Amino acid sequence: TPKHITDLFCELVDIKVNDVVLDPCTGTAGYLIAAMHHMLAQADKESTKNDIRQKQLHGFELQPYMFTIATTNMILRGDGKSNLINNDFLREDANKLQLKGSSVGMMNPPYSQGSKKNPGLYEIAFTEHLLDSLVVGGRAIVIIPQSSVTGKTSEEKAIKENILKKHTLEGVITLNKDTFYGVGTMPCIAIFTAGKAHSADKVCKFIDFREDGFKVSPHIGLIETEQARDKKQHLLDIWFERIESDSKFCVKTSIEADDEWLHSFYYFNDEIPSNAEFEKTIGDYLSFEFSMIMQNREYLFEPQEEIEFKKIEDIASKKWHEFFLKDIFLTVQRGKRLTKENQERGQKPYISSTGLNNGVDNFIGNDDGVRSFSNCLTIANSGSVGSSFYHPYCFVASDHVTHLKNNEFNSFVYLFISTQTNKLSGKYNFNREINDKRIARDKILLPVTDSGEPDYPFMKQYMMNIEYMKRKHYLDRMESQQIQ
């Protein structure tokens, strides 16, 4: 575990001089050594320091060679008397472990060992056993894969539910994807209070700390930048509520056991969009349309209604309200898998998860065994997750995209909304893709009427005005450069 993480653990649980620390998956003893140094720095008596070294640091390590490294590390760093045990922590009786009086549990469990046949090896199962082993009111902090707190399997979901019956979740911090550089794990830090059942109205903190000030340097690995210290201090100030934060960094909310305990699950982008964002949407779409026409694919586009410019209310002065996607779109459906080998050459766009070319990945002729849609939006479930495009033509959708349709919408309303659905990309990644459950709870901001309903006429005219000005600018330029 990187040293900046072991130190961060100590600061997040506010480790005290009288704490008793347990690391059940000791490894090389990084957490115990960090805890020892933090406690020794607070001690003012030599007798207190001796107690810390000899009585207040406990650990288990299953692998004999790792156990040897851990004990050596502890001795070299002045431990004095190592309280490490070469044994399988999961086989230890939690009730007996409580007698050690451990008030702080720190852990980086082995990853990817659990399965439906052996659910006791899931990272969240290690977490539950650690919590059961601490004194009532003890603080537990673990670094585990994000999949552990989302609950990918029914077994993991059951463990999450059981944890809340006995213990309290304080919050989860999403970490830099390169924290374990070269491993490919998307980690997070979960913090609990042991022995106290999670109350329904308990407010937890979910923090997005992916931008932690550490970056990957070629041939070196993860290195600390000048911003790392300030970013960590900001995290600690938010965690201990010394300052307030916007929801982009920290969401405070009550939870359910079957929630995905991650910032991305609870976060809703409540920033009012700028005119430039909508201009980009129109510009990108017109560029795609022009590109297709230049490739003799004008058949994709039906004759458009006459574009008329009308003066309307400024977007900045509009009232906005949040809406669930499921309440805006009458149909939300995923496409169907179609491998490259089974794609027949043809004229129909094949929409996949690419973030380029309006999502068009190929042109195919398949009619059987596919899902075809038209005049709708798509959102990429994976790949360029969250990329959203409007399609006026008939197309085949891959299983990597979800289509969203409302028969009352025209192209301009769709383009307006696609600007907002594109913002969902910040919530998802390769390891946390969009699925039916996640998209069902996703929300976007839309301008509203005085009665609070989505103002679709405004959206239509607003985007029409932008397209009118874009086309006028292009035609004026062409006129000034007439071909002789």
> CA 98: distance to chain centroid?
34
Instruction: Tell me if 195 sits within 8 A of 138, measured CB to CB.
Output: yes
Choosing from 217, 241, 266, the residue where a domain stops is 266
Is residue 83 within 8 A of residue 58, CB to CB? The reply is yes
- Class of residue 376 by CB neighbours under 10 A (exposed 0-12, middle 13-18, buried 19+): buried
**Is 347 found in the same domain as 452?**
yes
pLDDT in tens, 320-372: 999 999 999 999 999 999 999 999 999 999 999 999 999 999 999 999 999 99
Domain boundary residue among 266, 287, 311?
266
Q: What is the DSSP letter of 351?
A: E
Asked whether residue 227 carries a pLDDT value surpassing 90, the answer given is yes
Residues 216 and 324 in one domain: no
Q: Across residues 398-402, what is the average pLDDT?
A: 94
pLDDT score of 77 more than 90 = no
Is 206 inside a domain boundary? yes
The whole-angstrom separation of Cα 276 and Cα 283 is 10
Least confident interval from 118-122, 182-186, 220-224: 182-186
417 belongs to a structural domain: yes
Length of the chain as a residue count = 484
pLDDT top residue among 185 and 103: 103
Residues 49 and 104 in one domain: yes
Separation between Cα atoms, residue 147 and residue 412, nearest integer Å:
38
The pLDDT of residue 79: 66
Q: 72 lies in a domain?
A: yes
Asked whether residue 113 is domain-assigned, the answer is yes
Do 194 and 315 sit in the same domain of this protein?
no
Both 252 and 391 in a single domain?
Answer: no
User: Is residue 236 situated within a structural domain?
Assistant: yes
CB atoms within 10 A of CB 134: 26
Strand partners, 363: 349
Are 56 and 173 found together in one domain? yes
Q: Is residue 74 part of a domain?
A: yes
Q: Check whether residue 180 and residue 35 sit in a common domain.
A: yes
Q: How far apart are the two ends of the chain, measured CA to CA in Å?
A: 69
> Is 246's pLDDT higher than 60?
yes
- Under DSSP, the state recorded for 454 is B
The Cβ-side half-sphere exposure at 87, using a 13 Å CA radius, reads 10
Q: What percentage of the chain exceeds 70 in pLDDT?
A: 98
Please check whether residue 133 lies inside any domain of the structure. yes
Which domain does 367 fall in, by range? 275-479
Of 248, 266, 284, which residue is a domain's last? 266
d(CA 7, CA 100): 23
The CATH number of whichever domain residue 162 belongs to comes to: 3.40.50.150
pTM above 0.75, yes or no: yes
CB 337 within 8 A of CB 396: no
Residues 351 and 359: beta-carbon distance below 8 Å? yes
pLDDT at 430: 67
**Statement: residue 273 has pLDDT above 70:** yes
Please give the pLDDT value at position 483. Answer: 59
* Token duo for residue 186: 């998307």
- With cut-offs at 50, 70 and 90, classify the pLDDT of residue 112: confident
User: Which pLDDT belongs to residue 9?
Assistant: 98
Same-domain check for residues 21 and 144: yes
Cα(16)–Cα(159) distance, integer angstroms: 30
CB 231 within 8 A of CB 208: no
Task: Provide CB contacts within 8 A for 280, sequence distance 6+.
Answer: 419
Band of residue 126 on the pLDDT scale cut at 50, 70, 90: very high
> Which residues does 380 contact at the CB level (< 8 Å), separation at least 6?
352, 353, 354, 355, 359, 386, 387, 388, 400, 401, 434
Domain count of the fold of the chain: 2
484: pLDDT strictly greater than 70:
no
Residue 131 pLDDT > 60, yes or no? yes
Strand 104-107 versus strand 139-145 pairing type: parallel
Residues 184 and 311 in one domain: no
Q: Hey, which residues does 189 pair with through a beta bridge?
A: 143, 173
Give yes or no: residues 389 and 352 share one domain: yes
pLDDT at position 203 is: 97
Give the phi and the psi of residue 276 in degrees, each rounded to 5: -60, -35
- If you average pLDDT over every residue of the chain, what do you get? 93
Mean local confidence (pLDDT), 241-246? 94
Rounded to whole angstroms, the Cα distance separating 479 from 484 reads: 11
Residue 484 domain flag = no
CATH number, domain with residue 310: 3.90.220.20
Residues 391 and 283 in one domain: yes
- Specify the amino acid at residue 123: E
- In eight-state DSSP terms, residue 318 is S
Sheet of strand 376-380, all strands in order from the earlier edge strand to the far edge: 331-334, 401-405, 376-380, 388-391
Residues 226 and 293 reside in one and the same domain: no
